Amino acid sequence: MRQLLDNVFWHALSGRQSAFAAGVDGARRYAPGLSPIAGFADAQRPDLDALTPFCAPDELLYTDGWSGSVTAGWQVMLESTMFKMVWAGELPAVDAAPEALPLGPEHVEQALELVALTHPGPFGPRTIELGDYFGLFDGSRLIAMAGERACAGMLREVSGICTHPQAQGHGLARRLTAKLVRRQMLRGETPFLHVMRSNEGARALYRRMGFVEYRESVVRVIRRS
């Protein structure tokens, strides 16, 4: 598990999610429209030149675990760190959000609007194709969602966790996260997630739920210059 987690997006893009990948051996990304994330066989020495033909000039891409020098022709637009957290708790006894609805193409516009309000991380119009996404609604309005992004081996990422600002404080994100954890564990998978260092409230919540911090990792947002 450690080997997979240390370079999880590469293992996802070259393994179980290769059908969603664009790129070549050694450098891959989720195809346009999916989450704008790149993975490299050597995370510390990424072959950005190999990825260039698969990226639009002004497109922003996220990378995980790379802190070295920048290849000519590329720019680092943002650099921070995030924590990889892995589930260490028991199987949730019941579905914490039985009323949550699966999200499909008809919900993409609302999902993108919610992402624009809450900034849960890289998300595109096709991201919900990467796994099961569920939403909670107030009438017909999407007010909270969470789903699955990367998968490598038996690791399955919980991602896109967000709640509309007007609906926060009611445990909606926690319930959706617990729902996904239960579903993944019943499939024999190990849930994990990423959370930015600055988001201390979310980290504390995930620890209370049963996640433990595995490691802190550099995250960069890059683009072709």
Residue 55 lies in a domain: yes
Count of other CB atoms within 10 angstroms of residue 80: 12
Q: How far apart are the first and last CA of the chain?
A: 36
What's this model's pTM, rounded to 2 decimal places? 0.95
Domain ends where: 34, 53, 81? 81
pLDDT in tens, 143-201: 999 999 999 999 999 999 999 999 999 999 999 999 999 999 999 999 999 999 999 99
Domain ends where: 81, 102, 131? 81
Query: Is 111 found in the same domain as 12?
Result: no
pLDDT in tens, 89-136: 999 999 999 999 999 999 999 999 999 999 999 999 999 999 999 999
Residues 37, 106: Cα–Cα separation, whole Å: 24
Query: Is 159 found in the same domain as 52?
Result: no
Strands (E), the chain: 21-24, 27-30, 38-40, 61-64, 74-87, 101-102, 134-138, 141-152, 155-163, 190-196, 211-224
Cβ neighbors of 29 (< 8 A, separation 6 or more) are 13, 21, 22, 23, 36, 37, 38, 39, 51, 54, 55, 61
Residue 220 lies in a domain: no
Query: Is 74 found in the same domain as 179?
Result: no
